[in-house]
Structure 1
C-alpha cells in the first residue's frame, strides 16, 4: 500500500467522521427546531448526508455500484422537499375574507 493510498483512505475516513458529526447535529436541529420549516430543511439535509455517506463508502470501497442509488435518493430528497414546501405554503397562507381578498393584520 503506497503512501498516497494511505492518505486517500485517511481523508475518506475523516470525511465519514464529519458526516456522522453533521448527522448528530442535524438530529438536534430536528428535535429542537422552533418551526416546521426548520425541521423540513433539516430533513432535506439528512437526505444529503445519507447521499454523502453512501458516496464516502463508495469511494472507500472503490465501487461505482452505489451511484444509481445515490441518484435515486437525490431525486426522492428533492421531491420530498418540494412536497413539504408546498404543504407549508398552503398551511401558512393568510386567511381570506368572503370577497376573496386577503385579511391584513
Structure 2
C-alpha cells in the first residue's frame, strides 16, 4: 500500500470513531434531554450522523452505491425536523384572546 492510501484509511477510521462518539453523546441527549426541543434537535443530529457514517463507509469502500440512500436520509431528516418544529410551534402557541371591542361585533 502506498503512503497516501494508508493516510486516507487512517483519517477515515478516525472520522468513523468521532462519528460513533458523537452518536453516543447524541443518544445520551435523546435519553436525558430536559425538553422536547432538545430531543428533537438530537434526533436531527442523529440523522446527520447517520449520513456522515454512510459517507465514511462509501469513502472506505470507494463505492458510490450509498449516495442515493444518503440523499433519502437527508430528505427524511429535513422533513422530520420541519414536522417536529411545526408541532412544537403549535403546541407552544398562546391561546388567542379576543381584543377589547371585538366581543360585541
Does the TM-score normalized on the shorter chain lie above 0.5?
Answer: yes
The Cα RMSD (Å) is 1.2
| Deviation beyond 3 Å, 4+ runs, structure 1 | none
Q: CA deviation at 1:96?
A: 2.3
In the aligned structure 2, how far is the partner of 1:88 from the partner of 1:45? 18
Q: Number of residues paired by the alignment? A: 100
- What are the within-5 Å matches in structure 2 for residues 1-105 of structure 1? 1-97=1-97, 99=98
The TM-score normalised by the length of structure 2 is 0.92
Structure 1: gaps spanning 5 or more residues? none
1:96 counterpart SS class: coil
